[in-house]
Amino acid sequence: MALRGLDHITVRCADIARSRSFYAEALGLRDGERPGVSIPGAWLYLGDRPVVHLFAAVEDAGEAAGAGFDHFAFEADDLPNVRARLERLGVAFRESDIPDMRLHQLFLRDPDGVKIEINFRG
C-alpha cells in the first residue's frame, strides 16, 4: 500500500456553528472553502490544508445520526494496487468520486468498525 500521510479527521456535530467557532477560536484553525457536499458542514484549515471536516449529525448512507468522531483519512497513491490488496485480503470497501476536487476515495472499516477513508488525488 502506498500511504503518504494523514489527510484529515471528520467529526459529526450537533451544532455546526458552535463547533466551527470552537475549532477556530480554541485551536486557531481557519474556516475555509468546502466542496459541494449534500450534508451541511464546514472545513477548518491548518495553513493551506483542511484538516478537520465538520458534518451535521444526520443519518447518512445508512449510518445512524449522532455527534462524535466519524472517521480519519489517509492520503495515498497507486489506486489499482490498493484496490487489489484490499480485495485479496477480503476487506470490503466502497468507492466515491468528487470530480470538482479531482479526488477518488475508498471507504472501509477496521475490525472494530472504525471508518477509514483513503484519498487518491489527480
What structural domains and CATH numbers belong to the chain? 2-121 (3.10.180.10)
Q: 120, 104 in Cβ contact below 8 A?
A: yes
Cell numbers describing residue 47: 495553513
Residue 61 in this model has a pLDDT that exceeds 70: no
Q: What percent of the chain has pLDDT over 90?
A: 28
Cα 84 from Cα 70, distance rounded (Å): 26
| Cα first-last separation, the chain | 18
Residue 67 in this model has a pLDDT that exceeds 70: no
Read off the DSSP letter of residue 40.
-
Cα 74 from Cα 68, distance rounded (Å): 19
pLDDT score of 73:
86
Q: 53, 8 in Cβ contact below 8 A?
A: yes
Can you tell me the mean pLDDT for 21-36? Answer: 83
Cα 120 from Cα 21, distance rounded (Å): 30
Can you tell me the mean pLDDT for 50-72? Answer: 74
CA torsion through residues 65, 70, 75, 77, sign? negative
pTM, two decimals, is 0.65
Most confident of 10-24, 91-105, 108-122: 91-105
Q: Which residue has the higher pLDDT, 101 or 64?
A: 101
